[in-house]
C-alpha cells in the first residue's frame, strides 16, 4: 500500500505569511510548491501519522496535500487547524478527509465529526472509526500559524 503522511506544525513570524512558512518547517514540509487536493482518499493508501524530515534535495518540487491552516495575529487569540479521516472497513484504503480551522480545539473537533458523519451517511458505505489530528497555537506577540497536512507525495516539474 502507498502511504499518506499526516503531519502538523505551528509557527511564529513577523508576518502572517512568515508564520505559515515557520509552520511548514515545523511540519517537515517546507520548500515545496504545495498543490491542494480535495478530500477523497483513493484505493490503496494507508494513513501514517508522523513528521517527515525536511528533504533539501526536494527543493521546489510539487507536493500534493490536503491541508488545514489557520493564521492569527491578534494577541491573545488562538489558531487551530485539524484534519479528520475515515476509511472503509473493506481494507481497500478508500476513505475521506476533511479539513477544518477555528479559534478553539472544540470547534475544530466538532466540525470534523459533523462533516465526516454527513459524508459517511451520504455515501452509504461501510466506514470505520473517525480519526483526527489537530494543533493549536496562541498569538503571544507575533503572528502565528497552525497547520495539519495529509501529504500524498512529491513530484518533479
Supply the residues annotated as catalytic: 33, 38-39, 99
Beta pairing class for 78-87 and 2-12: unpaired
Task: For residue 145, report the phi and psi dihedrals to the nearest 5 degrees.
Answer: -145, 140
Alpha helices in the chain (DSSP H): 16-27, 105-123
Q: Calculate the alpha carbon distances from 32 to 27, 81, 142 in Å.
A: 12, 20, 24
Is 31 within 8 Å of 60 (Cβ atoms)? yes
Answer yes or no: are the C-beta atoms of 71 and 79 closer than 8 Å: yes
Amino acid at each position: 500500500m502507498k502511504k499518506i503522511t499526516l503531519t502538523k506544525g505551528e509557527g511564529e513570524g513577523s508576518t502572517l505569511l512568515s508564520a505559515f512558512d515557520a509552520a511548514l518547517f515545523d511540519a517537515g514540509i517546507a520548500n515545496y510548491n504545495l498543490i491542494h487536493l480535495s478530500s477523497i482518499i483513493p484505493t490503496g493508501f494507508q494513513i501514517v501519522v508522523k513528521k517527515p524530515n525536511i528533504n533539501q534535495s526536494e527543493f521546489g518540487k510539487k507536493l500534493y496535500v490536503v491541508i488545514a491552516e489557520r493564521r492569527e495575529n491578534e494577541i491573545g487569540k488562538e489558531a487551530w487547524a485539524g484534519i479528520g479521516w475515515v476509511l472503509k472497513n473493506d481494507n481497500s484504503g478508500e476513505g475521506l478527509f476533511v479539513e477544518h480551522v477555528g479559534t478553539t480545539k472544540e470547534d475544530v473537533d466538532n466540525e470534523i465529526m459533523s462533516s465526516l458523519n454527513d459524508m459517511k451517511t451520504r455515501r452509504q458505505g461501510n466506514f470505520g472509526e473517525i480519526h483526527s489530528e489537530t494543533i493549536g497555537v496562541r498569538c503571544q506577540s507575533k503572528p502565528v500559524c497552525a497547520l495539519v497536512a495529509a501529504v500524498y507525495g512529491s513530484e518533479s516539474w
